[in-house]
Amino acid sequence: MKKFKEFAIREELIKAITELGFEKPTPIQEQSIPILKKGNMDFIGLAQTGTGKTAAFGLPLIELLDIDQKIIQALILAPTRELCVQISNDLNNYCKYLPEVKIAAVYGGASIETQISQIKKGIHIVVATPGRLMDLIRRKKINISTIKYAVLDEADEMLNMGFQEDIDSILENTPAHKRIWLFAATMPDEIHAITGKYMHNPYELTVGEKNTAAENIEHIYYVVHERDRYTALKRIVDVNPDIFAIIFCRTKAETQEIAEKLIKDGYNADSLHGDLSQAQRDKVMMHYRDRALQLLVATDVAARGIDVNDVSHVINYQLPDEVELYTHRSGRTARAGKSGITISIINTKDIGKIKQIERLVNIKFIYAKVPGGVEVCEQQLMALIKKILKVEINQQGISKYLPAIFEELKDIDKNELITRMVSLEFNRFLDYYRDAGDLNIDFSKKDHIRGKNSGKTENSMFINLGVMDGFDNGKMLKYLMKTTSLPADTFTRINIKSVYSFIDIKEAHFQDVIESFKSEVYKGRKVRVDISEGSKNKKSSSKPERRKFGKKKRSLKT
């Protein structure tokens, strides 16, 4: 299957999704649409986040509608209000050329009256949170006895949130012959409770390995003292001036606290969690989607499944308590085939969790050092220069001031002028970072990881040069040979990443290589090398038997 056309779905749908930029189906869409379109089977679809599950069920669902009959034919349940809104927006976009199709989103926190009147006008699809739907059923304001299809999106999260009973009674209000389609990114054991109870011989489709994270994400962790967590967070933001991130905290209180601190410290941040009113949450999400907001500080529940384009970083201010949540958080970046970075700030106690996530999610973490003051200043300076180069000049507005300004500055030469302009903005960071200490904990001796003393050295070196600096494997090899004066076969493997790389080095020469870089400068930038934990993608052989870091039930209030 190469094109959406080959699915033989309505022309109007094809036209609309083509305009949305969908050229060809994603793997989950390719495999699920032909099956779901038949409408005669229960279905379980598991695929990584950001792989297009909404269209995977949305398109066949719309295709199966009898549009002339204005009764509710399909119900979509989702765990949060944000997701309901997102899904119904997506469906409405697919229906751009099928304006007769009516979709209502019903969720708590918004006026139930408005939702009731929308339902009264006649709808084909209802997208709902379990709580609000229950409310509407109790008030007899919605009739879902006519549905043919029930979709459970992010089903594992609905169970986590304790919606089991609501889902039970909702499904009791639906006809026995309806089909259930369940979609999720991870498959914790709890989900079998739903499948066993409600589904008949479901067709099970897993795209990619179960419980895996997207491949195009780099997973990095920093190790700091507990007291330095917040400072480390600021460094991450400062060293990435163009960052567009979601910062995950474990509780509502912490989410609020970190957002407030960031705002106070002058960052463009806001929080998203369940204690905010619906209006506040909508506003925050709108700002974030419009990029008017740079840092979204969120709880796991509030940010579940959220699809915002081009999120550059997911930051785990604290590691989540469950491995699956790590996957869900990371999935907020690297959507629709793009790449992204997840950074976890941990303390030495959490190193075991890192190992566990590596094993169960089958990813490889990269240990990196929290950037130092010099690095932050360097990045800020370069960002400022880029801004100067990109700034739009408003000739009309500025021209009348220019003669006087030129006159005032006429005795300063160009270089000095540049230095002064840059210092103006830069001094702020320089002042702040002049005495900034090293936040990293030296845990290489503690045998927490395979460090150089543990006897299992991978001989892998981290270097802060990568694709962005114009390197590919060949160029890097030449550069390494030149800098170290060692032969090519010293370097057994080169792995170039965006802004850094990993070099595997023959054991006998490892220290020599590290030494050679002691005072190396590349294009005016200090080259930083470090002993790395290794960048090899190890395949995990262990089964994902225990996922909760030893805890039985998630006991968080998010």
Sheet of 149-153, strand order:
103-106, 125-128, 74-77, 149-153, 179-184, 43-47, 203-207
Q: Which helix (H) or strand (E) holds 103?
A: strand 103-106
Give, as ranges, the residues between 50 and 89 that touch ligand ADP (CB under 6 A).
50-55
Q: How many residues bind Mg ion (CB under 5 A)?
A: 2
- Residue 23 or 165 with smaller CB distance to ligand ADP: 23
Exposure on the CB side of residue 329, measured as CA atoms within 13 A: 32
Distance in angstroms (rounded) separating the CA atoms of residues 254 and 260:
10
Give, as ranges, the residues between 411 and 430 that touch Mg ion (CB under 5 A).
none
Q: Does 49 interact with ligand ADP (rule: CB under 6 A)? A: yes
Taking CB within 5 to 8 Å according to partner kind, which of ligand ADP, Mg ion, none is near residue 158?
none
Give the number of other CB atoms < 10 A from CB of residue 171. Answer: 20
Both structure tokens of 277: 């009113």
* String marking each residue 287-316 x if it binds ligand ADP according to CB under 6 A: --------------------x---------
With contacts defined by CB under 6 A, name the span among 19-27, 384-392, 418-426, 542-550 that binds ligand ADP: 19-27
Taking CB within 5 to 8 Å according to partner kind, which of ligand ADP, Mg ion, none is near residue 45?
none
Q: Does 305 interact with Mg ion (rule: CB under 5 A)? A: yes
Give the number of other CB atoms < 10 A from CB of residue 224. Answer: 21
Rounded to a whole number of angstroms, the minimum distance from the CB of residue 499 to ligand ADP is 25
- Residue 286 or 336 with smaller CB distance to ligand ADP: 336
Rounded to a whole number of angstroms, the minimum distance from the CB of residue 9 to ligand ADP is 13
**Near ligand ADP by CB under 6 A: residue from 9, 13, 16, 26:** 26
Taking CB within 5 to 8 Å according to partner kind, which of Mg ion, ligand ADP, none is near residue 474?
none
Distance in angstroms (rounded) separating the CA atoms of residues 505 and 459:
5
One-letter amino acid identity for 468?
M
With contacts defined by CB under 6 A, name the span among 44-52, 70-78, 370-378, 383-391 that binds ligand ADP: 44-52
Rounded to a whole number of angstroms, the CA Rg of the chain reads 27
Which candidate, 367, 378, 361, 373, places its Cα nearest to that of 343? 367
Rounded to a whole number of angstroms, the minimum distance from the CB of residue 20 to ligand ADP is 6
Distance in angstroms (rounded) separating the CA atoms of residues 307 and 389:
32
Taking CB within 5 to 8 Å according to partner kind, which of Mg ion, ligand ADP, none is near residue 362?
none
Contact indicator for 317, 248 with CB cutoff of 8 Å: yes
Q: Angle 252-264/229-239 helices, nearest 10 degrees?
A: 60
- Residue 45 or 305 with smaller CB distance to Mg ion: 305
Q: How many residues bind ligand ADP (CB under 6 A)?
A: 16
Residue 266, sorted as left (phi over 0), alpha (psi -120 to 50) or beta, turns out to be left
- Residue 305 or 340 with smaller CB distance to Mg ion: 305
Return the sign of the alpha-carbon dihedral for residues 543, 544, 550, 551: negative
- Residue 336 or 412 with smaller CB distance to ligand ADP: 336
Rounded to a whole number of angstroms, the minimum distance from the CB of residue 26 to ligand ADP is 5
Distance in angstroms (rounded) separating the CA atoms of residues 232 and 223:
9
Taking CB within 5 to 8 Å according to partner kind, which of ligand ADP, Mg ion, none is near residue 388?
none
In three-state secondary structure terms, 274 is coil
Return the biggest CA–CA distance within the chain.
Answer: 86
Taking CB within 5 to 8 Å according to partner kind, which of Mg ion, ligand ADP, none is near residue 25?
ligand ADP
- Residue 25 or 202 with smaller CB distance to ligand ADP: 25
Give, as ranges, the residues between 116 and 145 that touch ligand ADP (CB under 6 A).
none
Q: Which residues contact 52 (CB under 8 A, 6 or more apart)?
A: 25, 26, 28, 29, 336
Give, as ranges, the residues between 326 and 385 that touch ligand ADP (CB under 6 A).
335-336
With contacts defined by CB under 5 A, name the span among 100-108, 155-163, 298-306, 537-545 that binds Mg ion: 298-306
Give, as ranges, the residues between 43 and 72 that touch Mg ion (CB under 5 A).
53
Rounded to a whole number of angstroms, the minimum distance from the CB of residue 304 to ligand ADP is 10
Burial of residue 147 (number of CB atoms within 10 Å: 0-12, 13-18, 19+): buried
CA 504 from chain centre, in angstroms, equals 29
- Residue 56 or 351 with smaller CB distance to ligand ADP: 56
Taking CB within 5 to 8 Å according to partner kind, which of ligand ADP, Mg ion, none is near residue 335?
ligand ADP
Which candidate, 169, 181, 193, 176, places its Cα nearest to that of 74? 181
Rounded to a whole number of angstroms, the minimum distance from the CB of residue 203 to ligand ADP is 18
Taking CB within 5 to 8 Å according to partner kind, which of Mg ion, ligand ADP, none is near residue 22?
ligand ADP
Rounded to a whole number of angstroms, the minimum distance from the CB of residue 4 to ligand ADP is 7
Distance in angstroms (rounded) separating the CA atoms of residues 239 and 233:
10
Residue 68 φ then ψ, to 5°: -65, -25
Rounded to a whole number of angstroms, the minimum distance from the CB of residue 289 to Mg ion is 16
Distance in angstroms (rounded) separating the CA atoms of residues 32 and 466:
38
Q: Does 179 interact with Mg ion (rule: CB under 5 A)? A: no
- Residue 250 or 328 with smaller CB distance to ligand ADP: 328
Return the sign of the alpha-carbon dihedral for residues 76, 82, 83, 87: positive
Contact residues: Mg ion, CB under 5 A? 53, 305
Contact residues: ligand ADP, CB under 6 A? 21-22, 25-26, 29, 47, 49-55, 307, 335-336
